[in-house]
Structure formats: C-alpha cells, structure tokens
Structure 1
C-alpha cells in the first residue's frame, strides 16, 4: 500500500556489548546507535522502530543504561517517539519479572509494545493514520502464534481501519542464516500476515534481508561477531512506503587475513607471507584476524601466536588482533569464526562438540552435549556437589534419548527467562 510514511526501522543495537573486553568497543556500539538517532532527527522522522535487542544482555550495568537514556533523550527532545519490542537479549529473567526496556518505557523514553492480557495485539500504537503492532520474542512458539496474530490484527483493523499497518517481530526466517536456530519460521508461515500487514519490521538475525517488498530485517548495524563479515547491515529509512537500507558511516572496520599454509615448509616463510598481507591494510584502529588454513607441513607448536598478534597490531595499528586456525590435519582445531575471541571457554566448547561428533550416539546432539559439558565444568569450578553434576548429566542423556529426529542440533537461545505466555 502506498502511504506517505517517514520512519526509521532498526534492530539488534546490542548496547552494552563489550567486545574483546575493550572500552572502545563498548563505546562503538553506543556511537552507532547515536548516529542512527541523529539521522532520524535530521530527516524529521515520524517515529523510530527498534525490533528487539536494544541491549546485548538482560542484566545490563549502569553505564549501559546511561548510554541508552542519553541517546533516547535526543529523540524525546526532538518529539520523535521510539517504539520497541523485547528481543531474546532484552527479556527479563523470571526472578525479576521486569526488563530494562520496561524501565525506559516507564521514563517515557520508549513505547514498549508487549502482548496484551486478553489479546496479543491489543497494545498497539497509532501515530497519525499508521498503526504499529508488536510481538516480543516468542522462541519456539513463534510459528504457533502467527495465525492468532493475523486474526487479531484483522479484527482490530476491521472496526477502526488505519491507512498503513506495521507489525514488529523478533524472529528469524528460514534460510537466511547458515545454522538451524530454534524459533525460525518459514516464509510460508508468514503469509497470513500479508493480508493485514503492510510492513513487517523484523529483528533477530544480524544480516540484512528483505522479502517480497513487505518483510524487512535491517540486521545489526555494528559487527557483533566476526562471522557476520561480508554481508550488508544497517537500518531502513521508510519513505512513502519504500524502504531504503542505510549503512552507518564510520563504524570500525574488521579484516580477516586469510593465509594458506600449504606451500610453507618453515615457520619463517609463513610469517613472511602473513606480514606481507598485513601491510596492505590501511584503516584507523581496525579489528584484525589472521586465519591460517590448509594443511600444515611442520609442527603447529612452531607457530608463535603471540608473535603474529603483535605483528598484526604493529603493521596495521589494530585495536585488537587475534589468530585462528582452520587446519585440515589438526583434529581439534577451532575453525569457527563466530565468537568474539579465542578464549578458553570457546576452545573447550569446540573440543567438546568435536568429541561428540566422533561418537555414534552423540553425533546428532553435539551442540547439546557441548553446552551441557561446559555447564558441568563451570559448576565444578564453582564448587558444585557431585549430586548436582550428576543431575545435569542425567538430564542431558534423557534429553538425547527422547529427542525427536527433527530436533537434533538446534541451537537453543536461553532458558530461565520470563515467559510472555504466563501473562495471557
């Protein structure tokens, strides 16, 4: 539907992300959000949408809350309402019952749309003749509630029709990321919404995608993980019904320097190629990863990782540098680039996963096995008794034994959070 619109659609801001434990990265995420808000003010936007995950964690600290308040105050002073929903990172813990987004709502800095007591869609927001609905992150229940959402929107709009309808949701569409993730929905399951929604404003996946001119996911405007490199991301400026992707200028650059080790017989030869490739990088305090891949022709212990890190920082002026391996002849190499740093926990989890893959019974449940063993290890370090450890292990094997075939290796996105369904 063509209607004179002028609004901003963003998602997955992840304020509070202290990537690599660096103050600079903590500030980077806030500065990126500030630039989006300043763009909205300059363009005299009618409103700003945040489709989940304004915060990186549910238990944010005081500096993160101050960042959010200061940036959102810019919108309030400009008379631009900010409409938000809770993502999986924003949800309150069960013991708290209230999220930090609700605190911002209480202060009048955002309008948080939550499921209603009687109907999921009853807490909509009207701005002019535009009606905005919202649904918080629903995880594995997402597909089940979509028909209900469509029906409720039709009923509400039927009695008081708006000119333009927006629905905000925090979900992932199948086929848009490599992994299988709990809560994904097929595009076909979204189609009932098309009958009553002009603009489906999504959040959750950190890459940009749009489908058929009505489904839009802007992605995370910052680089939350090294695995996100290579794809577009930013925020949408929707004018007169047409969504244009805008990239935030001046965000910190990330580089992956890939070096094939196949042709090197000695470590000094390998270091020479690494240094040569690093010398090509010209950027202001970038993040640099050196990825060594292929088949190593000498002992891996000869590679001085710390020396390569120092070389990367000296040659490029990097704010942070790290070395990763993707070696064909190293059984337990940690090849994945989807964590922020190669810390002990990442290594342990990957080793646990590969151990499970080598076992015929556990191979189909490697993610669950790795997660459970990591939890058991952490519990043991903190002094948990043997009965508690045994209970976790028993639960793991009961889960594996009873899991349906289609549930294998789905990535879980957290337990113990407040459940919106308890409010219905």
Structure 2
C-alpha cells in the first residue's frame, strides 16, 4: 500500500520582496498565485495529503488578505478529502503571541506546533494508518526534538516533517535558530519519508539507493540565486519505498544570464540579442561582459528592454579599459587622451581591485559622455 503526498515548503507568503523594485507588489501576488497552483495541483493529481514543511508565511504577523487566501485554499482541499499537515518554520514560528498560528484558525489543516514530538499524529488514509512526525522548533525548548522523531511502534506509513539545515551544505550558513542535522541523523530516525524545508533549492538525500528525505525548494524565486523552474514534489510513499516527481509550479521564473557584449559590436545587435532572450514571465539579471570598443549605455539599453521582461536588472561588467579603441585614443594630444592617460596611470598604481574597478567605471562614464557629444 502506498499513499501520494504533495510536498512543499518555503512559500514565504506575505514577503515584502523589495529587492524587485517597482514590481514588488506584483511579485507578492505571484506568490499567492503559486500557492493557488499548488492547491490546484494537489486536486488534479488526487493526492491524499498536502505536506508543508515550514515557512508557509514569511513572518509571524501576516495580513488578513493572505491569511484568507490560505484558509480558502485549505478549505478547497478539505472539500476534496485532501488532508493538510504542516509545521511552522523559522520565519512563521509560533513563539510570539501574535504569531499567525496563534491568532488564526486554519480549518482542514493539522498544525504540528509542539516544541518536542509527543505521540505522532495518526490519520487513516484509504484504509492505511499514516503517522506524521514533526515539531515547531524553539531554541529554548527543542534540544531533544530531533531525537523525539524516532519511529514509534505501529503498522503503517511513517512520515516526518522537518524544517532544518543539512550540515555541510554550501547553500546555507547554519545559524543559531536553525536545526542542524546530517543525512545519517535522518536515516537513524527510521521513517519512511521525511519532508524537509528551509533550503530554497531542491535536493533529495539517499541511503543505499533509497530516498530518505527531500527538500522541494521554494516554489517561487524569492531572490536572484533561486533561479530557474521551481517545484513541488509529488511523492509516492509506502513502507520502505519512495518515489519522487518534481513538478514545476512557479508563476514566473527568476534567472541570471551572462551575455558577452563583444560578440555584438554592430549597432542594435546587442539589443536584438537581449530581446531574443526576453520573456514577459522572466525576471532577469543580465550581466554584460567582454571587452568592448565603445561604452555600453546600460541605462538607456535597460530602459528600451524593460517592457520585454517581467523585470530586468541590467549589470554592465564590460571591459572598455583594454579595448583597442581606447589604446588608440590614449595617444591623442587632446583632453580625452590626457584623461585616458591619467586613468591608466591611476590603474597601474591601484592597490586594490576596488580601486581598479573604480578606474574602469570612471573611464566608461567619461567615454560615454564623449560618445554622446557631452562635455566633462
């Protein structure tokens, strides 16, 4: 006998997303749309249970609209006979009295909110006993909480929920409020599957070829670095057997691209290439690199392209300093030539990368003014 769960975590509903500038409010709506997509996916795939492994919300205090959206989604699942099991995370913890889980009810959802596991939560799903293990971490009370998740006696399927940090992972620096563990620690718990949360990129931990636990990653990119498609996991769990399917659920893709501007020297060619890469659902940070013969007017180029992306952060990392054109101009008996020679002298004498970068930026700025017919 197997059951099917939909595993998600780190939705961070209500996050301010100020790092996305003028589309911050629109991005907040994207996150709510992605929550709706997860609910719809659970219904479409006829899962038995939706499991949320922490940080459903971005903070302990949450606006009423967001709370209502979640209550509605859980209500829709309850109406289809789909159970919801969740644990609070680090962002939406239950410590303060004003915590969203202390102030609001979420009918249809079982919230594992004790600081240490007592008895696991039992649900009977299609004639099978399913046991859920999890806790809401509190630094002052949860010292033995991980150990308390060891498998209890009882026939059926045993599933854990854990919001914590895998030791040795390059993705995350472990902080005081995190729960550190190793893959061996999870294996020792003896559970059939552990639904992890906290890390924002997906990963599965295996033991002897068997999947022990997975991070689904954040289902919507919260910042650059959470790039590309984002997923929820459809997990088939039996006694000692696990199958995992990654299903894309994001509303928009966040991505970082690098374009060698030196490959597009003709007028309009660079803009055409960036237009080719654009999509109205793409939030992009595009880094321009390469040695160019003329300065790139990144502000103007970004303005012309902005409407072709959902949002564009254009970063000019091109190298004008080493171009043949600048080397030629350096020999001019002119104000421009004098300026380039002074920049060259300062660059040679620079004592840090930051100072050398400042020289290059000054050269781009002034050469751009010359190129546009301005003065200095």
TM-score by length of structure 2 reads: 0.70
* Residues 11 and 304 (structure 1), Cα distance of their counterparts in 2 relative to 1, 3 Å cut: same
SS of corresponding position for 2:277: coil
Match of 2:313 in 1: 322
Selected match of 1:40 from 30, 39, 42: 42
Report the structure, 1 or 2, having the larger strand content.
Answer: 2
Tell which structure's C-alpha radius of gyration is larger. 2
CA contact (8 A) 1:113 1:124 kept: no
TM-score by length of structure 1 reads: 0.63
What are the superposed Cα offsets for residues 221-277 of structure 1, whole Å, 9 maximum, x if unpaired?
Answer: 1112221215x641122224333223235621334331346x49xxx9598554132
- Cα root mean square deviation, aligned: 3.3
CA contact (8 A) 1:205 1:217 kept: yes
* Residues 285 and 211 (structure 1), Cα distance of their counterparts in 2 relative to 1, 3 Å cut: closer
SS of corresponding position for 1:308: helix
SS of corresponding position for 2:122: strand
* Residues 87 and 273 (structure 1), Cα distance of their counterparts in 2 relative to 1, 3 Å cut: farther
Match of 1:238 in 2: 235
Q: Which residues of structure 2 form unaligned runs of 5+?
A: 322-352, 355-376
Quick one: distance in 2 between partners of 1:98 and 1:238? Answer: 34
Quick one: distance in 1 between partners of 2:141 and 2:184? Answer: 16
* Residues 26 and 294 (structure 1), Cα distance of their counterparts in 2 relative to 1, 3 Å cut: same
Is 1:217 matched with 2:187? no
Report the structure, 1 or 2, having the larger helix content.
Answer: 1
CA contact (8 A) 1:146 1:189 kept: no
Quick one: distance in 2 between partners of 1:296 and 1:200? Answer: 51
Is 1:259 matched with 2:295? no
Match of 1:228 in 2: 226
Q: Which has the higher contact order (CA 8 A, sep 6+)?
A: 1
CA contact (8 A) 2:11 2:220 kept: yes
CA contact (8 A) 2:4 2:234 kept: yes
Aligned residues: 305
Is 1:55 matched with 2:57? yes
Match of 2:70 in 1: 68
Match of 1:306 in 2: 299
Q: Which residues of structure 1 form unaligned runs of 5+?
A: 331-356, 359-424
* Residues 206 and 137 (structure 1), Cα distance of their counterparts in 2 relative to 1, 3 Å cut: farther
Deviation at 1:40, TM superposition (A): 1.4
Match of 1:100 in 2: 100
SS of corresponding position for 2:184: helix
CA contact (8 A) 1:177 1:205 kept: no
SS of corresponding position for 2:118: coil
Match of 2:340 in 1: none
